[in-house]
Structure 1
Amino acid sequence: MAGPLEKLRVLDLSRVLAGPWSTQILADMGAEVIKIERPVSGDDTRLWGPPWLKAESGEDTCESAYFLAANRGKHSLTVDISKPEGQKLIRELASQCDILVENFKTGGLASKGLDYASLSAINPGLIYCSITGFGHTGPMKDMAGYDYLIQAQGGLMSITGAADDQPGAGPKRVGVAVADLTTGMNATIAILGALYHRTQTGEGQHIDLALLDVQVSWLANQAQNYFCSGTPPKRTGDYHPNLVPYQPFPTANGEQIIIAVGNNGQFQRFCEAIGLGELAKVERFANNAKRVEHRVELINLLTTETKKRTLKELTELLNEIGVPCGPIQDIEQVFADPQVQARGMEVTLDSTHGPVKGVANPIKYSKTTLEYRKAPPALGEDTSAVLERVLNKTSHEIEELKSKGVV
């Protein structure tokens, strides 16, 4: 079975994470992705180490873990787009591509004749996705945006971290670059929508995607909490602002268990399982709204009982009665988890340096498949092959481009 995007070609002019995350998803879905990189230095993240991929000899290579995380399945082509000859190459490639993804600052490609207006004149069916920090309109359109800044300005840090009256209080950054990653996912969604539009009309279009917009949209229920109450949500640390009990609880062996009760039936079964069956009948704990109101008292009562059982005992007990629960695992434990292994969430690909492990794509199709055809590329490893195969350049023309420092 072929991937659902088989026979589509993507020109990837993006760097770092948001754009490359989107184009890696497209590659997993079967698209051919041609990644354009600067000669010599390449994508910024190639230098974002340690850690580095280890060769089979055990020594560090020059491939950073950060770069490897977002560039699976791509062909690396080095082009100096500051040179007219390099710009001409990009225009030629764009004429042969279905999709282009870029994350230059607003207007950064217009002076080179590589903006949407210029390239769509060559290829009217081109879907051109621009990813910036703040979008192509508004007072901040010319400013660079980075994930940490976006997490702060977009409100995420205001609801992440311990409450003001708790130890270690203060806004916290999420442990992965969620603004970048969710923007990459939204870019993929937008591109797929534009592809469907093209099947109906033959027209390509420009997609203007901003990290800040995506982060604001990702506030989801917390934004709706504000719209409904008129009060900005605060940091609540480990517990959920709208559900009780829905947080970590201590166990007898010092580990914590997450117990996530989503309805009254689950609450009643939970209480009965830990010997507090009468608690579910108490008026002030009878429904979720009342449990939120009396959170502190209830959690203290429940904690007294969870401390009497180990993590393993509680997990087995609650799983048997359908109360959602689980351990807090580090990343090594995640990839050793039988459920994660059963779902095939780790993949290994062969590279010039030896095997490269990576996180699999989570999509599971019944009729099509995802494709892990190529490890993240070494810088420029596909330059000659792409120029020859896609643009029909001769070996003499390719050598001339190399001698001029264009590729």
Structure 2
Amino acid sequence: MRISSPKGLIGRPHEPAVPAHADLVGDHEGVTGVGLALAAVARDERAGHCAPDGTPLWFSRALSGVIDRCHGRKPAVAFIDYASGYNAAFAISAALFARSRDGQGQHIDCAMLDTALILMAPQAAAHLYADDSDEWADAGLGAYPTAGVFVLGTPTPEQNRRLWLALRADGHPTHGYEDLATFEDLRRHAPALTRALGEIFRTRTADDWEQWAHDHGLAGERVQTLNEAVTQEQVRHRPLFQSQPDGDPTVPVAAFTYDHDGPHLTRRSPGFGEHTDQILEELGTSPQEIKQLRAAGVI
């Protein structure tokens, strides 16, 4: 396919793999020669494992170790999909900025597997540094069943000390855990700490423990439902959720704001392939070529 326009971007999302022979532009030189940014989002890396056609996109969660990190449970949110979109948007913006400086196009290859590993960067780096036998559960960052679920955020020795002193003042047994002075101490006692905290947190509701933690200057929150999260005050006062102009459902738009202007919906979301002909025409493709591409199943 010949593209003569000196500007433009073509994206190919959600491919099971991106074999070299499937490029819309023949080679990397062809891309740079026309100053085009060609973006492909794949489930797996070009040179690595390639998922077979029809493999569900959420297999990236299995291939990446995400499900393993979630104790064998598949997360019920499409976070890798959305993060891959953010990753691709950043890559495209960077490529277009670079083109404004050097006039060169770019072939962008975004892998969902890479994105999943980036989202677990600390854990992934730790596994490259030490084997699985060195892995340990941090009691100070645990989720504890109550009447609800209470999430604790006291991972440092100082936070641990203040946590156990506050619990001791309330009459709970501390077993000397307030004296653990180093991260190595916390690591060595992590299973016992987790058991002791679990027993204590079962004595009250998650709401009670959340207020207790705040009163003592400690980090701790009750786990909210998604319905509670999208209607909480922290969200309502920000322009995260916006109604689409044609009355379509309210959707999240962007997780940032500007002092002036900023992201907002101006029209409905396009249908799949709605603007394919328009984009190809802007890139110099003739109606006859578009017809041929459609007949061949390329578009």
TM bracket, shorter-chain basis: 0.7 to 0.9
- Indicate how the Cα distance of structure 1 residues 212 and 249 shifts in structure 2: closer, same or farther if over 3 A, else same: closer
- Indicate how the Cα distance of structure 1 residues 232 and 369 shifts in structure 2: closer, same or farther if over 3 A, else same: farther
CA distance in 2, matches of 1:380, 1:342: 35
1:120 correspondence with 2:31: yes
Q: Which has the higher helix share?
A: 2
CA distance in 2, matches of 1:135, 1:248: 34
- Deviation, structure 1 residue 380: 6.3
Task: Point out which structure has higher relative CO (alpha carbons under 8 A, 6+ apart).
Answer: 1
**Contact map agreement 1:160 1:173 (CA 8 A) in 2:** yes
Aligned match for 2:255, one of 338, 358, 362? 362
The alignment partner of 1:187 has SS state of helix
CA distance in 2, matches of 1:225, 1:159: 13
**Contact map agreement 1:247 1:258 (CA 8 A) in 2:** yes
RMSD: 3.7
Aligned match for 1:205, one of 63, 88, 106? 106
- Deviation, structure 1 residue 258: 0.8
Q: Which has the higher strand share?
A: 1
CA distance in 1, matches of 2:111, 2:267: 29
- Deviation, structure 1 residue 349: 0.8
CA distance in 2, matches of 1:117, 1:388: 20
Residues 264-296 of structure 1: CA distance to partner in whole angstroms, max 9, x if unpaired?
332233333334588496476333332232223
**Contact map agreement 2:38 2:106 (CA 8 A) in 1:** yes
Q: Which runs of no fewer than 5 residues in structure 2 stay unpaired?
A: none
The alignment partner of 2:58 has SS state of helix
Q: Count the aligned residue pairs.
A: 287
Residue aligning to 1:272: 165
Residue aligning to 2:150: 257
**Contact map agreement 2:152 2:221 (CA 8 A) in 1:** yes
The alignment partner of 1:349 has SS state of coil
Letter in 2 for 1:272: L
CA distance in 2, matches of 1:116, 1:340: 46
Residues 305-357 of structure 1: CA distance to partner in whole angstroms, max 9, x if unpaired?
33343322322222234322222222211112211222333221122xx3321
1:148 correspondence with 2:58: yes
Q: Which runs of no fewer than 5 residues in structure 1 stay unpaired?
A: 1-86, 162-170, 235-240
CA distance in 2, matches of 1:387, 1:150: 30
Residue aligning to 1:291: 186
Normalization by structure 1: what TM-score? 0.59
Normalization by structure 2: what TM-score? 0.77
Residues 46-65 of structure 1: CA distance to partner in whole angstroms, max 9, x if unpaired?
xxxxxxxxxxxxxxxxxxxx
Aligned match for 1:347, one of 242, 267, 272? 242
- Deviation, structure 1 residue 206: 0.8
Residue aligning to 2:19: 106
